[in-house]
Structure 1
């Protein structure tokens, strides 16, 4: 049983079913109804410090196009709007932190090209002329997150698995998942509840400190060829890595195949308060205009927000919980879940089925010191 039909739960279910495991996915709402449906679809290596999360991201980035090609053959199609368009990180102040970060990433195997301001403008002609440094990351990409999750779940169903929407998981007993519709017999339960994973884990008798971290995104009306890559300022990396509960914003701008421009990003720990704050939207808009001045004349069509599953040491939990027999976790990816999903599903499957892990699972274990 996989609890949660977001992209992480879907990726775990797909990998398990591909390994021959009979899988049922349950979700109290439906596919991609939570964090996944409120995301941008980022598949990034550019925003991660060298270490376990970057290694997981690199593995996932390598595997994603291979998996999509496999699913296209199996399902007849697998259009998730995959765009390996690359990313561009720019600085408008001191360039040294950006250069130092890129150097550390290159040592870890990331392709990171330091380019001049003129070269950056060739890649993004509408970018501000005030940039002092830029790094091009050709490995960065983007998908439509809802399409990715539903495609993965389609593969699960085609292999004989089930999706039970409108079913709320309430706990775990020996050899069963407890739900509001009664107990469902199973050998293993995967907690892929995203920001709600802490609540489910506590109900299962194995608490983990997952907290919701809210983010807001602006969506413009369609505009032609304004932004070609995923572009963000150098402050984004610091905001991602911060554990501060207070509001943090950094500029992220990217287009979609439909022509709309997505503008982020904000991070704030306010529990599950889903209020759309106009002052936060204004700040996102102001910062985006500083990066792309032509956005000043583009209309905003809508705004949306969601909750990311935050853990204090900024690493997901992937693997078995030895406090409760049969309980597994795949959560805590915060805003990187889309990009980490494929490798997460594969790693969890390898651990559950006794295969050799393709990445080191130790940093993601539930009993690691950072979660004590």
Structure 2
């Protein structure tokens, strides 16, 4: 059997691409060495953020993606029915707080730049911020509210997108590693080799998150996607006392940093289940999945600066995952000029949940040869900002 598209990776980006392509009439097979949402998509916070992105191409993609999630949550509920778990889409908004004088001016300047790019970034005074979050420590120095920030339950959202893709004809092969690329006698791509045999397709899309570089390497190509470790804490259930996604201004700097050393910031929110989710950290330590106690301690300490009442909360569990880091801080979306027929949708770092739907639309339109909603060139594997990293890694 020959597919139109084989997608390597059953995380949220792969699931979203499978759904968009299947709905457009492509014959799609998704293959993963594990299970749906078995990697990064089940080890993150489910952020749908515009608040952490400065003016530029990624922000434009996030702004467009935010409009897609509003409708997708409704469509998935209608399509999958009431027996399928809710994706818990919550347009709760985000509150960014500077806890020091040194952090206040950069936060306000960042918000001003975002407003110039069309982001709704509202500077609040102390009383306004406390009206949104009454338990917030009152000694903060600046606060900005972002009503466009939202949230989903990432594992369920991934499962829902995959279920929808399968309803539209996509096939799913789990627990089957892809081992290499399949070429014809002229060297052209015609599919992949797997632990279970060959799969043929006119196009192969690598959407394997932080493992996308490893998949590309098995094809004989360099793709500088690196794993960036993040840790999170989850409290036991409590009365609902945090009403938005609340984070300190350090988070924005950590997102945009190339530093491989440990960075921690405070990102706090309540979940539909009554727990409080507390992140986050960033650290480049390869695929080391051991518990990072120093990271968790740093996260907890910063969380208490925002919400002192959490000192009395019990931590129910901790978990961590790997974010797909790109050295130029843009996801790679499009066809690889080094091997026609090979496509990429990877490198979203901590924004993959939010950007998945917009990425899928871009991939669909490019594969159909149609104009894309946003300019696809800045995300191309052939972009100038990526070339030096390909050369360094080669």
Distance 1:205 1:368 in 2: 20
Q: Spell out the pairing of 1:4-43 with structure 2 (5 A cutoff).
A: 4-43=9-48
Distance 1:70 1:21 in 2: 20
Indicate yes or no: 2:88 matched with 1:74. no
User: Is the 1:206–1:321 contact (alpha carbons within 8 Å) kept by the matching residues of 2?
Assistant: no
Say which of 85, 89, 95 aligns to 2:92. 85
Shift in Å, 1:69: 1.9
Q: TM-score, normalised by structure 2?
A: 0.93
Q: TM-score, normalised by structure 1?
A: 0.98
Q: What per-residue deviation string (whole Å, max 9, x for no partner) do you get for residues 213-252 of structure 1? A: 0000000001112211000011110000000000000111
Q: What per-residue deviation string (whole Å, max 9, x for no partner) do you get for residues 160-209 of structure 1? A: 11111111111222211211111111111110011110011121132111
Distance 1:93 1:164 in 2: 50
Indicate yes or no: 2:152 matched with 1:143. yes
The aligned residue for residue 141 of structure 2 is 132
Distance 1:162 1:229 in 2: 37
Shift in Å, 1:96: 1.4
The aligned residue for residue 252 of structure 1 is 267
Q: Spell out the pairing of 1:91-106 with structure 2 (5 A cutoff).
A: 91-94=98-101, 95-106=104-115
Q: What per-residue deviation string (whole Å, max 9, x for no partner) do you get for residues 96-122 of structure 1? A: 111111111011111111110111011
Structure 1: which 5+ residue stretches go unaligned? none
Shift in Å, 1:74: 2.4
The aligned residue for residue 205 of structure 2 is 190
User: Is the 1:205–1:324 contact (alpha carbons within 8 Å) kept by the matching residues of 2?
Assistant: no
Root mean square deviation of aligned Cα: 1.0
Q: Spell out the pairing of 1:293-312 with structure 2 (5 A cutoff).
A: 293-312=308-327
Shift in Å, 1:370: 2.0
Shift in Å, 1:274: 0.6
Report the number of matched residues.
372
The aligned residue for residue 378 of structure 2 is 363
Q: What per-residue deviation string (whole Å, max 9, x for no partner) do you get for residues 90-146 of structure 1? A: 112232111111111011111111110111011000100111111110010110001
Distance 2:118 2:15 in 1: 28
Q: Spell out the pairing of 1:53-72 with structure 2 (5 A cutoff).
A: 53-72=58-77
The aligned residue for residue 278 of structure 2 is 263
Query: Which stretches of structure 1, 4 residues or longer, exceed 4 Å deviation after superposition?
Result: none
Shift in Å, 1:6: 0.3
The aligned residue for residue 357 of structure 2 is 342
Distance 1:313 1:325 in 2: 23
For residue 202 of structure 2, give the secondary structure of its aligned residue in structure 1. coil
The aligned residue for residue 223 of structure 1 is 238
User: Is the 1:274–1:305 contact (alpha carbons within 8 Å) kept by the matching residues of 2?
Assistant: yes
For residue 297 of structure 2, give the secondary structure of its aligned residue in structure 1. helix
Shift in Å, 1:70: 2.2
Q: What per-residue deviation string (whole Å, max 9, x for no partner) do you get for residues 278-309 of structure 1? A: 22211111110111000000000000001000
The aligned residue for residue 3 of structure 1 is 8
Structure 2: which 5+ residue stretches go unaligned? 1-5, 183-188, 388-394
User: Is the 2:16–2:356 contact (alpha carbons within 8 Å) kept by the matching residues of 1?
Assistant: yes
Q: Spell out the pairing of 1:155-304 with structure 2 (5 A cutoff).
A: 155-173=164-182, 174-304=189-319
